[in-house]
Amino acid sequence: MDCDYISELPDSLLTQILLNLRTEDSVKTSVLSKRWRNLWLNVPGLELCSLAFPNPYEEGFKRFMDRFMEFNCGSHLQKFKIRYTGKQDQLMELICTVVDRGIQHLDVCYCSSVKRYGFLRENIYKSKTLVFLNLFNVELKNPKFVVSLPYLKIMRLGRVCRGEDGPLVVEKLISGCPVLEDLKLIRPFDTLTHKVLLFLRVSSQTLKNLGLYFATYKGDTDFSVEIDAPRLKYMTVKDIQSDNIVVKNLSSLFMINIRTKYIPSRPKDFKKFCDFFTGISSVRHMIIDLPILERLYPNYNFGPIPKFLNLYYLEAEVSRSSLQLLSAFLESSPNLKTLILDFRGSSKLGQIDFTNLHRCLISTLEYVEIKKGMIRDETGVKLVNYFLENSAILKKLTLSFTDSSSLELESCKKLLTSTKLSPTCQVIIV
């Protein structure tokens, strides 16, 4: 005889299980039996999209929320996630209510291009329960008091500030989070039409993970950021002017991912650009996009190339012109163990001088992976053979293809005829 073990669980445990479902799916359980009819109303959290309600969806959404809040008038909420399209003042009032209910996980996206006119209420700046905060397209105003979010560990902000005081608002939020560990900023400031410099200071003694995702600003808006985070371990920089990033106290940095299309052209900007690389020179794991690697060294006239003495993993997207820079980058990374090269967008690679590739090939390099179709070119084949002939402890060399025919693959296998310096090295063609 089959038993319904789930229904035998106490309500408190069942509601925690339902908390991991979308509210739409949680509500569907009400048809299972009499016991389940109102169980979803006791779930300490909601995950909703206002457009999922029948037209007129704003009225249906309001009735639903009124019923849920009335049923849970004496209880605390753990999680509130919403994608909302409608009148923003109603959304602001709803957020104020859930914050007063002791919300721990707040995730809000206002999905509308209509001009915003509502601000979050003051109670969100002084929540004693928030642990996770994600806001997108929800405007924050400059608080005239000290922000206090004593338990907030994760904060993600996107398009939350308008006007010149936007960076100050974000700074106040960061400074009011004494245990903040994870911060992600996704274009938090709107582009201004008049000439202005936006300066953001990210200072935290507890921050471990930082993501800066800034689309390139147009017009007269300029942007710079200063990072002072002695415990920072993971950092992502995407679509931001790298010469405008000043880093301090990043000796704990383990991994950095740099994805930017901006390269400085003025000498004074390039000096700051190079200082940024010097500031992250203790990093161990680096992922870097080709425009930086391609233009960094030919213009590096302000001192020696920074030594990445701790770097053991390097993943770089390169092009035909940037291969000449490979030697210089390896020269600065004497303890490199893993090298991954992505030749996305390259068809012909041009000529390379292999004579100055660093001696790390002999003593430290253990794994090389070359992606895409670069070895269709003669120079690419020479590069692969160079790794095989000069890497004394190389364990594996992998060549990855996405669109090559079997005939091309067989030709590549025949071209790879070098005598391997490392007797245990495996050559894998995918």
pLDDT at 1: 46
Alpha helices in 307-418 (DSSP H): 326-331, 360-363, 378-390, 406-415
Which DSSP category does 54 fall into? P
Q: Identify the burial level of 333 via C-beta atoms within 10 angstroms of its C-beta, where 0-12 means exposed, 13-18 middle and 19 or more buried.
A: buried
pLDDT digits (tens, 9 = 90+) for 194-253: 566 778 999 999 999 999 987 655 555 667 889 999 999 999 988 766 557 889 889 899
Q: Are 244 and 271 in contact (CB under 8 A)?
A: no
Instruction: State the Cα torsion 265-269-271-276 to the nearest 10°.
Output: -110
pLDDT digits (tens, 9 = 90+) for 375-417: 556 666 777 877 888 888 899 988 876 655 565 566 566 556 6
pTM: 0.84
Rounded CA separation 242/427 (Å): 37
pLDDT at 88: 82
- Sorted by where each begins, the domain ranges of the chain are 284-430
Q: What is the average pLDDT value for the chain, to the nearest integer?
A: 79
Beta strand extents in 168-220 (DSSP E only): 182-186, 196-203, 209-213
Give the position of tokens 């993970």. 209
pLDDT digits (tens, 9 = 90+) for 104-153: 999 999 987 665 556 788 999 999 999 999 999 888 888 999 999 999 99
Rounded CA separation 309/372 (Å): 29
pLDDT digits (tens, 9 = 90+) for 64-120: 888 888 877 766 778 899 998 878 888 888 899 899 989 999 999 998 766 555 678
Instruction: State the Cα torsion 25-28-33-35 to the nearest 10°.
Output: 60
Whole-angstrom CA distances from 222 to 108, 168, 195 are: 28, 15, 8
> For 213, phi and psi rounded to 5 degrees?
-120, 90
Rounded CA separation 76/97 (Å): 11
Both structure tokens of 222: 């300029």
